[in-house]
Amino acid sequence: MARRKGAPRHTAASPSPAPAPARNLEQVNLATTDLSGAQLPKANLRHATLKETKLTQANLAGADLIASNLGAADLTASDLQAAKLDDADLRDAKLTRADLRGANLTHAKLDRADLTDAQIEGAQWDEAEGTPIAMPAERLRSAAERDAGGRG
């Protein structure tokens, strides 16, 4: 296919296109859907039903997942940096190798959530409920330090 004279030439050095605007998917029901590799940064997924959804390697950085149902969802190796997961149901969710740095998990339900090798630096866990599987050592240390500081 011939290039038109004067048309811009696209090369590897060309700037990438602007990021897509945040999506509004509030209260959407995507239960049991395969969304592997989905690009949903800063998406509004507040109160969404994502139970048993496959979100492996999904980009959910900065997404609003407040009060969403992610029970038994597969979030393996997903980017959840700075995601809002307050009051989210993550029971039985697989968060192996997920990036949760700076995420807010206040009041999240974490029973049996698998956090093996998850990155959790700077995540907020205030009053999170339940006992996850393989909680990263950083959270265990910070919880022990908080508990020790409250004793006197």
pLDDT of 5 strictly over 70: no
- 31-45, 87-101, 103-117, 125-139: segment of lowest average pLDDT: 125-139
User: Identity (one letter) of the amino acid at 134?
Assistant: A
* Distance, CA of 17 to CA of 12 (rounded, Å): 12
Taking only Cα atoms into account, the Rg of the chain, rounded to an integer number of angstroms, comes to: 19
Q: Quote the pLDDT of residue 137.
A: 59
Q: What is the CATH number of the domain that holds 110?
A: 2.160.20.80
| φ/ψ of residue 94, rounded to 5 | -105, 110
The reply to whether 2 falls in a domain is no
Domain that holds residue 79: 25-127
Q: Quote the pLDDT of residue 138.
A: 57
Question: What total number of domains does the chain contain?
Answer: 1
pLDDT of 83 strictly over 60: yes
